[in-house]
């Protein structure tokens, strides 16, 4: 098992290195001149040159990359062009709202998706399964920002139960989470359903039935537990989709998190902030998947040897 974990860690380090190269190239190999962006379009060429020197842009690219990595490893993501604040500080201020929203969205997905998956698997090929599966397909096709606006319209504007967007307590979290929950739950539902249908065919399920186990014991003890394995894997993959959804939801619900930060930075062409956010998200995705894979190897011994 340790060999597997070490191998997995090694590849994660390589991927993190790749991510740093991509975000570095995005910052420096771009047609727009960062020095020109900072000093403004009217500054004389000598000032631009001075800024280029100050930013180290007159050095060869590999050397610039080494400096970039060095700063990254010291937690220095650069300074925002438009706010003149360290990017790390700006991200730090916005991190918690995004984590809170992401957690809310994820929980909503599971609360809707898992029970529906179990229900449709047990009712496979009946009318209720057919209707729910059709609804799931529609759910997958819904643009998350549009659904958010619809929910805002009905449950905050027409029937004012919830606030009209913004970040705050639990009441503010309900509609955004529900928005993502509705669009994302369908994946969990479909995955769990097909996985359960597969497990139901297994010999050990037949054995359990033959030994006289009741239907609910078979479902919960034998089928659901084993069918959850691919669902756990998908949880890792889903993380990246979750973050995409969160960006759009933040913008829809005026939620002051990382997505809004990246969005504002893009409006201002504030490249250090854009790249800092992109880098952070990519690193989070890699680390999250690493943790899922390792936990997975600990839980399921079959994985380690494949």
Instruction: List interacting residues with another protein (CB under 8 A).
Output: 11, 14-15, 18-19, 22, 26, 30-32, 137-138, 140-146, 149-150, 153, 157, 187, 190-191, 194, 198, 230, 237, 240-241, 243-244, 247-248, 251, 262-263, 265-267, 269, 271, 274-275, 277-278, 281-283, 285-286
Closest CA to 175 of 194, 156, 158: 156
Smallest distance, another protein to C-beta of residue 239, A: 9
Q: C-beta of 231: minimal distance to another protein in Å?
A: 12
The CB density around residue 137, as the number of other CB atoms within 10 Å, is 11
Residue 214 CB, nearest distance to another protein (Å)? 28
Q: Which is nearer to another protein, 173 or 275 (CB)?
A: 275
Cα gap 232→223, rounded to integer Å: 15
Cα–Cα distance between 103 and 245 in angstroms, integer? 12
Beta carbon of residue 103, minimum distance to another protein (angstroms, whole number): 17
C-beta closer to another protein: residue 108 or 249 = 249
Tell me how far, at minimum, the Cβ of 40 lies from another protein, in Å: 18
Of residues 65 and 145, the one with the C-beta less far from another protein: 145
Long-range contacts, 218-226 (Cβ 8 Å, 24+) = 219/118, 219/122, 223/121, 223/196, 223/199, 224/118, 224/196, 226/199, 226/202
DSSP code string of 150-212: HHHIIIIIIS-SS-SS-S-SHHHHHHHHHHHHHHHHHHHHHHHHHHHHHHHTSHHHHHHHHTT
CB of 289 vs another protein, minimal distance in Å: 8
Nearer to another protein, 44 or 293 (CB): 293
Smallest separation (angstroms) from another protein to the CB of 241: 7
Identify which of residues 108 and 273 has a Cβ nearer to another protein in the complex. 273
Calculate the dihedral angle through the C-alpha atoms of 137, 138, 144, 149, rounding to the nearest 10 degrees: -160
Q: Which is nearer to another protein, 105 or 243 (CB)?
A: 243
Rounded CA Rg of the chain: 24
Q: Which of 235, 217, 226, 231 is nearest to 198 (CA)?
A: 226
Task: Tell me the C-alpha to C-alpha distance, in Å, between residue 75 and each of 78, 96, 266, 291.
Answer: 9, 18, 22, 22
Distance CA 45, CA 38 (A): 13
The nearest distance, CB 14 to another protein, in angstroms, is 5
Q: Which of 181/184 has CB closer to another protein?
A: 184
Q: Kindly tell me which of 50 and 230 has the beta carbon lying closer to another protein.
A: 230
């Amino acid at each position: 098992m340790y060999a597997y974990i070490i191998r997995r860690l090694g590849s994660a380090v390589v991927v993190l290195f790749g991510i740093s190269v991509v975000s570095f190239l995005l910052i420096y190999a771009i047609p727009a001149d960062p020095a020109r962006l900072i000093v403004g379009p009217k500054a004389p060429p000598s000032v631009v040159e001075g800024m280029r020197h100050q930013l180290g842009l007159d050095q060869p690219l590999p050397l610039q990359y080494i400096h970039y990595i060095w700063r990254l490893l010291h937690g220095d993501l650069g300074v925002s062009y438009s706010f003149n604040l360290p990017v790390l500080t700006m991200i730090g201020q916005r991190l918690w709202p995004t984590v809170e929203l992401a957690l809310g969205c994820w929980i909503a997905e599971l609360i809707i998706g898992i029970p529906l998956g179990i229900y449709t698997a047990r009712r496979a090929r009946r009318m209720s399964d057919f209707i729910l599966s059709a609804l799931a397909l529609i759910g997958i096709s819904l643009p998350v920002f549009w659904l958010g606006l619809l929910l805002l319209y009905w449950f905050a504007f027409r029937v004012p139960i919830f606030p009209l967007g913004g970040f705050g307590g639990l009441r503010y979290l309900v509609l955004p989470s529900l928005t993502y929950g509705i669009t994302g739950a369908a994946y969990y539902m479909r995955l769990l359903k097909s996985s359960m249908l597969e497990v139901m065919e297994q010999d050990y399920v037949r054995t359990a039935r033959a030994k006289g186990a009741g239907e609910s014991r078979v479902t919960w003890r034998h089928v659901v537990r084993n069918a959850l394995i691919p669902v756990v894997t998908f949880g890792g993959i889903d993380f990246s989709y979750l973050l995409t959804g969160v960006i759009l939801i933040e913008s829809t619900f005026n939620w002051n998190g990382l997505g809004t930060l990246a969005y504002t930075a893009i409006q201002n062409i504030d490249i250090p902030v854009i790249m800092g956010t992109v880098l952070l998200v990519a690193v989070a995705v890699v680390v999250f998947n690493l943790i899922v894979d390792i936990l997975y190897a600990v839980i399921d011994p079959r994985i380690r040897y494949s």
